Amino acid sequence: YVERTTGAVEGHAGSYYFYIRTLINKYHPWIFLVPVGLVYGIHQSFRNKERRAAYLTVLGWIAVVFCFFTFAVQTKLQWYILPLHPALSLIAAVPLTLWWFPGGSELLLKAVIITSAVGQLFFSSVFDHDYSPGLKELAAVIQTDTGQNEKVILYNYHEEPAAVFYTNLRCVYADSLKELDGYQSEFGRVHLIARDQDFAGIAQDLKRRDFVIIRRTSGFKEDLVYLK
C-alpha cells in the first residue's frame, strides 16, 4: 500500500486529470448532473441549516476521496475511485428530485437537466455496441509483433482494460512524451498505440525517437496508430 501511494506501481501512472477523465468516460450519463448537484449542494450548505450537515457530509465524502486518490496516491487505476460513486449518485440525484419542486428557478433547472441529457447523446458512446473497434483491428498485428517481455504503451489513451483484453499483453499509460521517455529508459524497446488525433501533434517527436508506423486504422470513430 505504501509503495502504491508513494510511486506508480507497474507503470500505472497518471496526471491530475486522470480521474476526471475516468468519471467522464465511465460515469455517464449521470456525470452531466453532478456539476448541477455540486453547485446546488454548496449553495444549500450555506443557506439551509436543517440540511447543512447532510450536504456537507456528501460534499466532504466527494472531496476527500477524489483528492486523496488524485494527489496522494501516485498509482492511478480506474477502480480506485469506486468509493466515490455512491456520493456522486446522491449529488446527481439532487437535480432530479428538485425537478418536481415548484419554485422560480424550476424552468432553469429543467433546461439544465434537458441540456445535459441531450449533450450525453453527442458526447458519449451510448449507441456504440463496439467500444474499441480500432484496438480489435490492431490486436492481431500487435500480438504477432510483440515479444513476451516487451511493453505496449498507450499514449494519452486510457483504454487499458480493452487493450489487455484484445492483445493479452501488458499495457501501461503514458500521458506525455516525458513519461514515454521514462518507459523507454526503463523497458528499452517499447510498442506504442496512440489516437490518430494525438499522433498528429507528436509525429515529429516520435520520429526523432526512432518510432516507425506499423499499422493505422481508418474509418472508425476513434482511429489509432500503432508504432514501434
Please report the pLDDT score of residue 157 as a whole number: 86
Residue pointed to by grid coordinates 505496449? 152
Q: What tens digit of pLDDT does each residue of 112-156 get? A: 667 666 666 665 555 555 668 888 889 889 988 888 778 899 998
pLDDT at position 48 is: 85
Give me the pLDDT at residue 194, please: 93
**CB–CB of 37/93 below 8 Å?**
yes
Q: Which residue has the higher pLDDT, 14 or 141?
A: 141
CATH of domain 133-227: 3.40.190
Q: What is the pLDDT of residues 44-67, one digit of tens each?
A: 888 888 889 999 999 999 999 999
Q: Share the mean pLDDT of the chain.
A: 82
Residues of the chain with pLDDT > 90, as a percent, come to 23
Q: Span 27-33, mean pLDDT? A: 82
Asked if pLDDT for residue 10 goes beyond 50, the answer is yes
Q: Is the overall model pTM greater than 0.85, yes or no?
A: no
Q: What is the rounded distance in angstroms from the CA atom of residue 144 to the CA atom of residue 170?
A: 14
- Sequence ranges of the chain with CATH classification 3.40.190: 133-227
In this prediction, residue 204 carries a pLDDT of 92
pLDDT in tens, 68-115: 999 988 888 888 999 999 999 999 888 777 776 655 455 656 666 676
More confident site: 113 or 190: 190
Q: What is the 3-state secondary structure (H, E, C) of the chain?
A: CHHHHHCCHHHCCCCCCHHHHHHHHHCCCHHHCHHHHHHHHHHHHHHCCCCHHHHHHHHHHHHHHHHHHHHHCCCCCHHHHHHHHHHHHHHHHHHHHHCCCCCCCHHHHHHHHHHHHHHHHHHCCCCCCCCCHHHHHHHHHHHHHCCCCCEEEEECCCCHHHHHHHHCCCEEEECCHHHHHHHHHHHCCEEEEEEHHHHHHHHHHHHHCCCCEEEECCCCCCCEEEEC
Predicted local confidence at residue 104, as pLDDT:
46
Whether pLDDT at 215 is above 80:
yes
